[in-house]
Structure 1
Amino acid sequence: MITIRNAQDRGQANFGWLNSHHTFSFGSYYDSQHMGFSHLRVINDDTVTPGAGFETHGHKDMEILSLVLEGNIAHKDSTGNIKELPAGEYQLMSAGKGVYHSEFNASKKDMLKFLQIWIQPNQLGGQPSYQQQAFSQEQGFTIIITPDGKNGTLHIKQDMQLIQLILEDEQQATWQADNNRHYYVHVIEGELSLSNGITIGQGDGAKIENVSEINFERLSEQRVKALLFDLV
């Protein structure tokens, strides 16, 4: 079964310095039909004006992933990490028993666009941790996050995987799925046809359940980049 979440139906918050589209309920946007999916709780598609950002604030018991699409994030947290996150790199912060951090657009002239994704952990408390890594931009599937950090992936406190999908020269790809697990696709760029012929494009998402494989097909000459969440 595939359920589409169209980009234009997402919640929106515009504060001038921040324009954010919410796939799931977040902040002042509430929709009882869109509270998350399995342990995937937040996908915010954020655009931040030059020099602006999120002042120091706290998190607890949440796995927080950031992926910059354009620009750079200037990150600082209470565990001593002072980092810059450029476009294409993945950052995973485990809040654990509590952490404070700030995130700013590192540029004074260019816009910052990034995805902020929250995963509810299966282990509460513990020391906060920080991971940042660039991954291959090769075509096909690249595993980014796993529960044990195997094969150089980022490790997360949850029974899940995050997989990056890129189709540029290749037209199709198939992910072997498990009928007992839940899958969510978020399209970053391009246009895809899924297993049942449903088309999704930039900013769209799809909840996928009770399937043994997921077929992806690129529908135009434009490159496709998408995230596939493999969830319990």
Structure 2
Amino acid sequence: MRWALLALLVAGCGRVEHPAATRGQPARPAIRETAQCEADLTRMGVSYRTLPDHDYGTGCGVFGAVQLIDIGVPVTGITALRCGEARAFASWTRNALAPAAYQMLGSEIARVEGMGSYACRNVVGSVRNADRRSGHAIANAVDFGGVVLKDGRRITVLNDWNSPDPQVRGFLQTVHVSACKRFGTVLSPDYNAAHRNHLHLEDDHAGFCR
């Protein structure tokens, strides 16, 4: 089937035994790294504004972060993002998510529904990692909830991950696989119940896709 072929084209998920999580004070991105990332966003035609660094203590903070203003596709529900995460999210949205919607569902995206980025909290849904800060605690993760299409349909992880419609189900499976090529940690409803309504997308080097 067509969606299966698309999934193969964007395959590349890494698998390890645990998701990324942070103990103690997280490392801050280098100034040069952030500057290069901001130059990349500008070259991509992404509109954004830089945010001041802020250490909130207890392992939480916003460093080298931006607020996305316009990435070419409307996005809701996302605030501060570490620049590398913003770059990965913008690239995934424009080069994987939007094309997959058009090719597999026959409609352009009216908006992407985010479910949060920065939040000073620990990992949820994992007893083993419950004492660790989430990637959200340093604005290094985005929760993707779904999309609203220009033809009026709303496709969500919560309602359509196991959809009886093979095209809809295949679309979500395909964008999940494509996310694994661009983010170090990707968690879906197949990981645990805490992710039943979203994909957790995190810019790290964990190589964990579930």
Tell me, yes or no, whether TM beats 0.5: no
Query: Normalised by the size of structure 2, how large is the TM-score?
Result: 0.28
Give 1 or 2: higher helix fraction: 2
Give 1 or 2: higher strand fraction: 1
Query: Normalised by the size of structure 1, how large is the TM-score?
Result: 0.26
